[in-house]
Amino acid sequence: MNYVPKISVAIVVYNAEPFIENCISSVLNQSYQNFEIIISDDNSNDRTKEIIKSFKDKRIKLIENEKRNFISGNRNIAMKAVKGEYVFFTDADCVVNRYWLEEGLRTLQMEGVIGVRGHTIYEHAFPTIADRVTIFDKMSNHYATCNIAYIRKHLEAIGNFDPLLKYGREDTDVAMKLLKIGKITYSGDMIVLHRKRPWKFSRNIGYSDLYSDSEVLFLKRYPEYQTGIKLGKLRIINPLVWCCIFFPLLLLLYFRISRPHHLILLPLRWFKFVTQKYVLIRASIREKVLIF
C-alpha cells in the first residue's frame, strides 16, 4: 500500500467575514484529501469564527486567540498545532484551485526541494476583465505565504516565523533562511486567487508603524535583497510613492479612477503615503540605516 503523507494547511485570520467561507470551501474541495486545516483566529470581532464553526468537517481545527498576535505570531501559534509532514500556507482572503495540494506535494517530493511557491492571481476591484487581475509568477524574491508550502521539519528547524516581523516580510525572512539549506522552487499549477479587500483608511494608517518596522528590520538584516532603488547605502522604497507625494496629480495615474468617489479618496490616499513614509523614516533612524 502506497504511503499517503498528511498535509497541514495553516490559515491565519482576522476579521475575514467576507472571505473565509470561500477559502475553507476551496481547501475542502481538494483532489488530495489527506489533510487537516489549522485556522488561528487573531481575536476577530466580526462573524469570522462563527462562519468557521459552521463547517462540521473534523479536519478543521480552530484556534481562538484572546489577544492580537499579528501575522508572524499568529502563524507561530498555528505551527504549534500542525501534525502534517508538509505545511501549506494560504490566507483567509484567498481561494485555492482544486489541485493546489496535489501539485504542491508532488513538487515537494522532488529531490533537494524543501519549499514550493505557486502562481498567485491578485484581484483588483475594477469592472473590466483587463483591469481585474495582476499576475505574479516567477518573481525571484516573491515568497508570499498566501501561496507557499514547506517541509515541516525544515521550517521548524529555523524557528518558524520571526515574531519581530509582526506585519510583513516575515514570509520572505523564512524563505531567505530556508534557501541556505535547500531549494524553494516554483509550481505554475499551484494556483491561488488573492481577492481584493475594500480599501479602508483606518486600517492602512493603523498598521503603518508595524509594516514600516518590519520592512526596515528585514532590509537591515538582508541588505542584498533586491527591492526599491539602491544608491550606495541609501535605499529608496517605492520611489513612485515619493513622486506622488511631491507631485500629487500623479495620483491620478497611480490609482485607476473608475468611479466618482475614487476622486474623493485621493486626498486620503496622499495622506496615507505621507504617513507611511514618515513612519518608515522614523524606523530607519531608530535602526540607523538609510531607508526612505
User: Which of the pair, 246 or 264, is modelled with greater confidence?
Assistant: 246
Mean pLDDT of 103-126: 89
Tens-place pLDDT, residues 198-234:
666 555 566 788 888 999 999 999 998 888 899 888 9
Tens-place pLDDT, residues 10-40:
999 999 999 999 999 999 999 999 999 999 9
- Which pLDDT value is given to residue 93? 95
Q: Is the pLDDT score of 184 beyond 50?
A: yes
Nearest of 170, 155, 187 to residue 86 by alpha carbon: 155
Distance (Å, whole) CA 160 – CA 175:
10
Mean pLDDT of 95-109: 97
Q: Is the pLDDT score of 125 beyond 50?
A: no
Band of the pLDDT at 124, cuts 50, 70, 90? low
Q: What value does the mean pLDDT of the chain take?
A: 89
What is the domain partition of the chain in residue ranges? 7-194, 201-291
Q: What percent of the chain has pLDDT over 70?
A: 88
- Which pLDDT value is given to residue 206? 63
Q: What is the 3-state secondary structure (H, E, C) of the chain?
A: CCCCCCEEEEEEECCCCCCHHHHHHHHHCCCCCCEEEEEEECCCCCCHHHHHHCCCCCCEEEEECCCCCHHHHHHHHHHHHCCCCEEEEEECCEEECCCHHHHHHHHHCCCCEEEEEEEEEEECCCCCHHHHEEEECCCCCCCCCCCEEEEHHHHHHCCCCCCCCCCCCHHHHHHHHHCCCCEEEEEEEEEEEECCCCCCHHHHHHCHHHHHHHHHHHHHHCCCCCCCEEECCEEECCHHHHHHHHCHHHHHHHCCCCCHHHHHHHHHHHHHHHHHHHHHHHHHHHHCCEEC
What residues have CB less than 8 Å from 224, skipping those under 6 apart? Answer: none
Band of the pLDDT at 167, cuts 50, 70, 90? confident
Fold of 7-194: Spore Coat Polysaccharide Biosynthesis Protein SpsA; Chain A (3.90.550)
- Which pLDDT value is given to residue 221? 94
Q: Is the pLDDT score of 59 beyond 50?
A: yes
Band of the pLDDT at 127, cuts 50, 70, 90? very low
Q: Is the pLDDT score of 1 beyond 70?
A: no
Distance (Å, whole) CA 190 – CA 196:
19
Q: Is the pLDDT score of 136 beyond 50?
A: no
Band of the pLDDT at 130, cuts 50, 70, 90? very low
Tens-place pLDDT, residues 60-79:
999 999 999 989 999 999 99
Mean pLDDT of 85-110: 97
**Residue bearing cell 466618482:** 260
